[in-house]
Amino acid sequence: MQTVVQKAETKTKPKRKANTKWIEMKKMKTLYIMLAIPMVMLFIFHYIPMYGILIAFKNFSPGLGIWDSPWNNFDHFKRLFDDFLFLRALQNTVVISLLKLIIVFPAPIIFAILLNEVKNEKFKKVSQSISYLPHFMSWVILSAMVIEVFSPQRGIINFFITLVGGDPINFMSDKASFIPILILTDMWKEVGWGAIIYLASIASIDPQLYEAAEMDGAGRFHKMIHVTLPSIMPMVIILFILRLGSVLNAGFDQILNLYNPLVYEVADIIDTYVYRSGLEQFQFDYATAVGLFKNVVGIILILSANAIIRRKSEHGIW
């Protein structure tokens, strides 16, 4: 008799579990409705358009639509790797992106840690606000400023060079100086804005950790190294992995507004090249193939970096 009851209980358990979940969901229906709105938006604007990826494999004809346009036997992808200008652009993209990753990525972290050490609140706020400003200006405006600053005739840098008897240098048309300018101006534009997330992360560190470190005799530098830095490390790792995912995005707006044919050799990246040869020439299918290629590389890099980091530490995205 007991066994029969037990069996009956076992049978009804999942049903009861499902019912409980349903009751819980009903209780929190407002929250679920709130969740549903971004989910629907995400679905409409991020998943439905993915259907358009198909044109990367087709000769897209607007009149025929995506589905009826003819397949082209991977012609766009073959074209990518047959084109030495694309391969040059790919190489430039990777180089510029890696340089930005190595030099620009740590800058907001250092800036946030240093700003955290500033005791004068007023100075701290003013410094923060000034550092955000360039972020809100587009590259169209900033590029004009950058070109003026580096102008061989009116630029302040060349003014000092000529003052000490040197010849003016056309920095913006010089392959050797163009990439450092890209890196520096990118850092200048984004360092303040990028530091916000780290400042928020630093603000959430338990003050007891600092007190404990002080009791152990740690000075400000040691607290910075042994408390602040390890505490924000999970955030640094997550942002690093996400940044790796966009390694084939080397800064389209910035480069398009600053470059010229004399520096194509080092500065023509995938996006600028595809803009000139794909989008401007109405080759949306080709441009989509390039975009797909970039995204596939990006996702591979994210997954690999995440896997490696997970193996070495407990941090990571998944």
Dihedral sign (CA 212, 213, 214, 217)? positive
Token pair, residue 81, equals 């790797």
**Minimum distance between the CB of residue 156 and other proteins, rounded to whole angstroms?**
15
- How far is residue 120's CA from residue 109's CA, in Å, rounded to a whole number? 20
Q: Which of 97, 108, 189, 268 binds other proteins (CB under 8 A)?
A: 268
For 53, 161, 209, 298, the CA distances from 198, given in Å and listed in that order, are 36, 38, 17, 24
* One character per residue 142-161, x = contact with other proteins (rule: CB under 8 A): -----x---xxx--------
Footprint (CB under 8 A) of other proteins, residues 189-248: none
Stretch that binds other proteins, among 115-123, 200-208, 222-230, 268-276 (CB under 8 A): 268-276
Stretch that binds other proteins, among 165-173, 229-237, 247-255, 297-305 (CB under 8 A): 165-173
SS (H, E, C) 237-294: HHHHHHHHHCCCCCCHHHHHHHCCHHHHHHHCCHHHHHHHHHHCCCCHHHHHHHHHHH
Our finding on whether 281 is near other proteins (CB under 8 A) is yes
Our finding on whether 91 is near other proteins (CB under 8 A) is no
Q: Which of 12, 25, 282, 296 binds other proteins (CB under 8 A)?
A: 282
Stretch that binds other proteins, among 191-199, 212-220, 245-253, 256-264 (CB under 8 A): 256-264
On whether the CB atoms of residues 154 and 144 are closer than 8 A, the answer is no
Residue whose CB is less far from other proteins, 16 or 222: 16
- How far is residue 29's CA from residue 65's CA, in Å, rounded to a whole number? 40
Length of the chain (residues) = 318
**Minimum distance between the CB of residue 252 and other proteins, rounded to whole angstroms?**
14
User: What's phi and psi for 251, nearest 5 deg?
Assistant: 105, 70
Footprint (CB under 8 A) of other proteins, residues 20-59: 43, 47-48, 50-51
* Residues contributing to the site for other proteins (CB under 8 A): 43, 47-48, 50-51, 60-68, 83-85, 147, 151-153, 170, 172-173, 260-262, 264-265, 268, 273, 276-284
